[in-house]
Structure 1
Amino acid sequence: MQTAVAVLVSGVVALFGVTSAVLGFIAEANRLKPDEIYVSGSDCVYPANPAHTLGFCAILLLVVAQIIASAAGGCCSCCRPPGGASYSNSTTTGRRVVGVVASVLSWVAALIAAVFYLVGVMLNAPTMREAKFTGPIEECSVLKGGVFVRVAVLSLVATSLGIMSCVLLRLPAVTDAPPEQGQHAVGLPQWLAQGFGHPYPTQGYGQASDPKFAPPSQG
């Protein structure tokens, strides 16, 4: 059951993460170019373009993917492990440590990607900003090429680490089965049990197994 849930959650996380990266690649192709920004007096006018909306949606999808992966993994398994599993086994403990490290690295990569996504969104927002003067020349801030591409790749890395963490933390714990101790009950043959219950152990059809144990004759 835990394995099936891990596979399902991994698929959902992958869908959101890959979609976020795809939006990042599309945003790179639609980002504002320097020749698309014009100066009005001492202000730079940034026209509306798809990169602003695409970058914002990419941030949301990436954050949702990370939240789902972390929640499915038990919040880095810092709370109760999924299914109440015990981590006494060394193999399971090592797997848990790797899963937690992968989750932390996933969040670090996702936060870096989100920050650069946000920078791209702000620099592609339809607004007016004060122009910078370099001598007599007016300059407008513009997002450099390749930023959205690098962020999209970083989103894929964060998603991959998140899926890895989710799978490792949700797999059933490996337990060491202790060797069975205790004695096995051995059944006694019916004739032997009956013999123990009789004051004179007999064998077969009431005949004494030894003449000296034969019952005394009556009369």
Structure 2
Amino acid sequence: MALLVVVVGLFGVTSAVLGFVAEAKKLTPDDIHVSGRECVYPANPTHALVVCAMILLAVAQVVASVAGGCCGCCRPGGGASKSTRRVVGIVVSVLSWIMAVIAAVYYWRGAVLNAPGTREATFAGAFHEKCLVIRGGVFIRAAVLSLVATSLAIKSCVLLRAPAAREPKPDGQHPPEAGVALGRPQWPAQGNGQAPYPQPAAQGYGQSRV
């Protein structure tokens, strides 16, 4: 369990770190060159960083889902407490996937606008053309969502893999633990329901002399 948490957390945190780095390295309007009616986007590390962030986030989600039994669908249900924990784990897992998908959309949009190449300029007025640039804070939002998705994925994995607690018997008593010997009476019970006690040996009195 600890190893799975470390692996999922490492992938998710690394994805978020790459997102923060991509925010600092993204293209600015000064980096884009206009050639006629085309915009020339130069090569930059942002595109590769974002692609790696998306892959790491996807790996973290898949590992957490597989470790949790495919969102709880691949593990048999248990008692009442186990079923409740399973439902909560499934809900948390679904929320983590939603956060991961939103983060991936932000990553993908930023990767497209930071990919090197030539694109047609758009008209911003009658005689003015401009090049599309990713807005500030997009990669930061993606990184934060990656952290949230990773936290939820770890939580769902813990809930779905936690062992089921022993349920009490109908009379309210818990079943005995393995390896604990049950005490038994040393003397057979009598008809009145009380256990007899050993009686001291009778002593002789008034013995006659021969």
| Structure 2: distance between partners of 1:185 and 1:29 | 74
State TM-score, norm by structure 2. 0.80
Counterpart residue number, 2:140: 149
Counterpart residue number, 2:28: 33
* 1:68-110 CA-partner distances (Å, limit 9, x unpaired): 00000001111224xxxx4213x22222111111100000000
Counterpart residue number, 1:166: 157
Equivalent residue runs for 1:27-106 within 5 Å? 27-81=22-76, 86-89=77-80, 91-106=81-96
| Structure 2: distance between partners of 1:185 and 1:125 | 79
* 1:100-132 CA-partner distances (Å, limit 9, x unpaired): 111000000001101110110010000111001
1:150 CA displacement: 0.8
| Structure 2: distance between partners of 1:146 and 1:80 | 40
| Structure 2: distance between partners of 1:188 and 1:14 | 61
| Structure 2: distance between partners of 1:141 and 1:36 | 12
1:112 aligns with 2:102: yes
Counterpart residue number, 1:124: 114
Counterpart AA for 2:132: S
Provide structure 2 residue ranges, at least 5 long, that are not aligned to the other structure: 176-182, 191-210
Counterpart AA for 2:47: H
1:177 CA displacement: 3.7
Counterpart AA for 2:142: V
Higher helix share: 1
Counterpart AA for 1:149: I
| Structure 1: distance between partners of 2:120 and 2:20 | 29
| Structure 1: distance between partners of 2:187 and 2:149 | 66
Task: Name which one, 1 or 2, has greater alpha-carbon Rg.
Answer: 1
| Structure 2: distance between partners of 1:24 and 1:173 | 38
Secondary structure, in 3 states, of the residue corresponding to 1:67?
Answer: helix
| Structure 1: distance between partners of 2:45 and 2:139 | 13
1:187 CA displacement: 6.4
Q: How many residues get paired?
A: 180
| Structure 2: distance between partners of 1:146 and 1:101 | 29
1:8 aligns with 2:18: no
Q: CA RMSD of the aligned region, Å?
A: 2.2
| Structure 1: distance between partners of 2:145 and 2:185 | 65
Counterpart AA for 1:39: V
* 1:21-66 CA-partner distances (Å, limit 9, x unpaired): 0000000000000111011111100001111000000000000000
Provide structure 1 residue ranges, at least 5 long, that are not aligned to the other structure: 193-219
| Structure 2: distance between partners of 1:23 and 1:154 | 13
Counterpart AA for 2:140: V
State TM-score, norm by structure 1. 0.77
Counterpart AA for 2:146: S
